[in-house]
Structure 1
Amino acid sequence: MTIPMLVILAASIVAAGQTFTCTPTHVWDGDGPVWCAEGPHLRIAGIAAREMDGTCRSNQPCPSASAVEARDALVGLLGGPRGNIPTGHVVIRGPRLTCRSEGSAGGSRTAAWCRLPSGADLSCAMIRTGTVLRWDRYWKGPACR
């Protein structure tokens, strides 16, 4: 499978406060990055998942679910897997998300609060899967129901 040129280009950071559209194409782990067809790489705001090597960083909440469980939960919310690429990212063809940027999440990632087409908050939907934890230090989202 060849990687589309859009994916190879460096992702731009969406300025804090801006609303943007993300059509997910690839997922790394349960809190991102999620690659968007429009260019940005999302870090889902307000949540923490295990790293793909199974560890948790010392400064973040550490869920009991594995990184693979969290990644697969996110992939499920975004339409299901379509394959993999050599980097380990899961290829998806997700529904268009409406997102609001919190600015840089380090590297080439944009921290963002996103809504699924149903109107559901993606961060809350991930918390409900039980595979990620709310990260109070960065939580500026809605009260999840």
Structure 2
Amino acid sequence: MILTILASVLVVPAGQTFECTPTHVWDGDGPVWCAEGPRVRVSGVAAREADGSCRPGHPCPDADPQDARDYLVRLVGRPIGKSPHGHILVEGPTLTCVSTGSAGGSRTGAWCASPLSGDLSCALVASGLVARWERYWGNHRCS
């Protein structure tokens, strides 16, 4: 696998499949920190920021940001603590992801599936806790 180093974090090139064993979750659309290095921004969705705000130009769901974050935590595993910076520490099975490329900064955008919950993007949208972001959803299909 070819990886690019960006700010000391691995960004997986678009189109590449990679594994992500989740260790931290920040908010309802990520990033999900992977033991293997990447920080995954869940593709095709938008959640409120941790402080409840929405960034200009982003879809803005009505849901509480902590509810969205906690749901993503449950989709990838189980909470085991909280970091000093506010990330929820998690443990769960390895996800299989397909990169959509850089999601800004040191984050890899990706469509990921968990053996626990299936397609993360589809499960998040179905929950109503995040908004489907048409600009990035593209031809993605939920089964």
CA deviation after TM superposition for structure 1 residue 118, in Å: 5.3
Q: Which runs of 4+ in 1 moved over 4 A?
A: none
| Aligned length in residues | 137
**Aligned residue runs from structure 1 range 51-70, under 5 A:** 51-70=49-68
**Contact residue 28 and residue 90 of structure 1 kept, 8 A:** yes
Give secondary structure in 1 for the equivalent of 2:10. coil
1:1-145 aligned at under 5 Å gives the runs: 10-117=8-115, 120-140=118-138, 142-144=140-142
Give distance in 1, aligned partners of 2:138 and 2:62.
Answer: 23
Q: Is the 8 A contact 2:76 2:116 kept in 1?
A: no
TM-score when normalising by structure 2: 0.91
Q: Give the superposition deviation at 1:143.
A: 2.8
Is the 2:75–2:116 Cα contact (8 Å) retained in structure 1?
A: no
- Structure with bigger strand share is 2
Code of the residue aligned with 1:67 in structure 2: it is: P
Is the CA contact (8 Å cut-off) linking 1:113 and 1:141 kept in structure 2? no
TM-score by length of 1: 0.89
Structure 1 runs not aligned, ≥5 long? 1-8
Per the alignment, residue 4 of structure 2 pairs with none
Structure 2 spans left out of the alignment, 5+ residues: 1-6
Percent sequence identity is: 60
Q: What amino acid sits opposite 1:103 in the alignment?
A: G
